[in-house]
Structure 1
Amino acid sequence: MVHRRELKGTELVFGNQGDLYGNAMTWFDHGTGSIWSQPRGEAILGPLTGERLELLPSTLTTWQAWTTANPQTLALDVEGWPTGFHLEDMAVVVDMGGAATAYSFEELQRSGVVNDEVAGVPVAIVIDPQDTNRWAVFSRQLDDVVVELSFVQAGLIDIATGTSFDPFSGVGVAGPLRDQSLDRLPAFTAFPDDYARFFPAGTMWPG
């Protein structure tokens, strides 16, 4: 997950605090010494207790899937280290601040795309059927239209208009909504048990 470091006009500088909170890492900010929970991006101790950082769109995927979509990407170490993480054991979490919903990869891989609402926001959670390591979460609100997405012959299609969208970028590639873009929403991956620990009021799809 990726958070914006700016809080109320102040740019924060973080370090690894070294302790675990709910079996997850914690940070400290150099300015106030406040302790932050990494999964929630929330200060849990110190002067900034209760403040939350803005969650930014990001993705956890394979190097091959990423460079296929972003061939100009540079990396310090393309070999990396084994993480022990397997996407099929995890869930995509959509956290809208006031509400959160988790979608298991196992279910998403069967569905391909899920049209849902989180905190009143129409969302689509999409896994590319050509490469199930590629996933994205989009707002289905496009100006005054709410699209309903489905995979048809390996293409991501708005059922009402027949517009075809790129499943990774959300850009319309053919049809009436061509060249219009679905807004990508912040989301992250988590193990279901960790999600339940940090978002006790959150829901799992399907409910």
Structure 2
Amino acid sequence: MKRSFLFFLLPVLLLIAVEVLSVYFIMPFPGSQLGLAMDGTEQASLARVELAYWLHNNIIWLRAVGLLLLAYPAFWLLTRPHRAWHRYIGVGLLVIYGVVLYMVNREMMADQMFKQPTTKRVVPMSQNKIPLQKLVLGFESVGQATAYPLQLIGYHHQVRDTVGNQPVMITYCTVCRTGRVFSPMVQGQADEFRLVGMDHFNAMFEDKRTGTWWRQATGEAVVGPLRGQTMLELAARQMTLGEWAAEHPNTRVLQADPAFADEFKSMRTYDRGLSKGKLTRRDSGSWQPKSWVIGVERAGFTQAYDWNQLQTNRILSDVVGGEPLLLAMAPDSVSFGAWSRRVGVQTLNFQFANKRLTDLETHSVWTWRGHCIAGPLTGRRLIPIPKAYQEFWHSWRSFHPDTKQYDES
């Protein structure tokens, strides 16, 4: 093989490799995300994200250097006498590089695959078109409530809004089944974010001002100038739109953007765990990577609860971080709530029998929302525990490696 052909071959392969690797480490390609659990691979995984971040920030000059190194050998190969197969391979590699360049930057970038709404409509219930049985992420601030259907935010991954005069960043990762609401304030200023890829199968966002990359599941900055900082998370709840509207009759509801009708259609069964995608479908068994769990965080302690067990028992009682906890399932078997079992100085113990939730201490009757509707404690309400999430087991254990699994026995 002629030396001039090698001088052509090396820079064009380098250019192709740089483009591919810039997305490989932060997208769900085979082998790109190290494991489903935090099993000692955290440092290796972080190194891959750091490499992707370096490539992202240096891609312009890397392309420039590669093209400069390629220019003369390409000119020599195409204009001087060479073996025909050298030219065929050379032209083919140039075409491949052009295709890779286009695909990486126009088709495979996360923010090109999952776009923000072009027309955002948030309407009152009187104008709502979203079915009441659809799951939503509900957020309330200063008396104003808004529901964000999982089918919609699962595609967008991020929707910006203002609720009760408070700017909010509504986020969702379908591969982790994690819904989080954050304040978009970074260093005291409202910032813009774009979906940049994923780490441990969890969405990552890049802020516009500093270029820092943030994990969606925890709000933690993993690489960039603000590494180690955490976005302020705001309490949100997941339930059906019908249950949310019953609790918040004046709620607003995010509507589907017609520009993404096909994308929303492909997501129509996701919220009930019936997606056919390998990364987003539910494992109906317990404690498998794609099994549903409820993860609870309190005072630095974390606990995971089997969704199937909650559906069977209707309630689960525990203590997390010193706080007595009640998990309660709604009659629709898809909405849930997490509450403190403390009422004043008393800690209540609950039972669910004959379709009634009662406490053993006063025999008062309660709703799954933590409202006492009959008995000595009528009118009392349990205090909600804000950090209680439904998500895939692989996600919860990845970002809470010290979590414990609830064992009723």
| TM bin (shorter chain) | 0.7 to 0.9
Of 383, 400, 407, the residue aligned with 1:183 is 383
**Is it true that 1:92 corresponds to 2:289 in the alignment?**
no
**Matched residues in 1 for 2:230 and 2:350: separation?**
32
Q: Deviations over 1:5-43 (max 9, x none)?
A: 277993653513411011010123345443221111222
Q: What residue identity is the alignment partner of 1:204?
A: Q
Q: What residue identity is the alignment partner of 1:37?
A: R
Matched-pair identity in %: 23
Q: Which SS does the other structure have where 1:179 is aligned?
A: coil
Contact 2:180 2:216 in 1 (8 A): no
Residue in structure 2 matched with residue 13 of structure 1 by the alignment: 191
Of 219, 222, 237, the residue aligned with 1:44 is 222
For the pair shown, the structure with the greater C-alpha radius of gyration is 2
**Matched residues in 1 for 2:300 and 2:185: separation?**
18
Quote how far apart the aligned CAs of 1:139 are. 1.0
**Is it true that 1:173 corresponds to 2:373 in the alignment?**
yes
**Matched residues in 2 for 1:36 and 1:8: separation?**
11
Contact 1:5 1:11 in 2 (8 A): no
Aligned residues: 205
Residue in structure 2 matched with residue 157 of structure 1 by the alignment: 358
Contact 2:298 2:321 in 1 (8 A): yes
Runs of 5+ in structure 2 lacking a partner?
1-178, 274-283, 285-290
Q: Which SS does the other structure have where 1:25 is aligned?
A: strand
Give the direction of change, closer, same or farther, for the CA distance of 1:204–1:194 in structure 2 (3 Å limit).
same
Q: What residue identity is the alignment partner of 1:196?
A: R
Quote how far apart the aligned CAs of 1:110 are. 1.2
Give the direction of change, closer, same or farther, for the CA distance of 1:120–1:167 in structure 2 (3 Å limit).
same
Residue in structure 2 matched with residue 195 of structure 1 by the alignment: 396
**Matched residues in 2 for 1:165 and 1:90: separation?**
26
Q: Which SS does the other structure have where 1:75 is aligned?
A: strand
**Is it true that 1:122 corresponds to 2:122 in the alignment?**
no
Q: Deviations over 1:42-97 (max 9, x none)?
A: 22223433333454443333334434444443323279642524366411110125
Contact 2:365 2:375 in 1 (8 A): yes
**Matched residues in 1 for 2:406 and 2:194: separation?**
32
Contact 1:57 1:184 in 2 (8 A): no
> Which deviates further from its counterpart, 69-78 or 176-185?
69-78
Higher helix share: 2
Q: What residue identity is the alignment partner of 2:400?
A: F
Q: Deviations over 1:93-144 (max 9, x none)?
A: 101251111112101111111110111111111112x221120000112221
TM-score (norm 2): 0.45
Contact 2:183 2:234 in 1 (8 A): no
Which of structures 1 and 2 has the larger relative contact order (alpha carbons within 8 angstroms, sep 6+)?
1
Of 301, 322, 332, the residue aligned with 1:131 is 332
> Which deviates further from its counterpart, 64-73 or 100-109?
64-73
1:51-70 residue pairs with structure 2 within 5 A? 51-70=229-248
CA root-mean-square deviation: 2.7
Runs of 5+ in structure 1 lacking a partner?
none
Quote how far apart the aligned CAs of 1:152 are. 2.8
Q: What residue identity is the alignment partner of 2:228?
A: G
**Matched residues in 2 for 1:106 and 1:185: separation?**
21
Q: What residue identity is the alignment partner of 2:293?
A: A
Give the direction of change, closer, same or farther, for the CA distance of 1:115–1:11 in structure 2 (3 Å limit).
farther
> Which deviates further from its counterpart, 177-186 or 49-58?
49-58
Q: What residue identity is the alignment partner of 2:318?
A: D
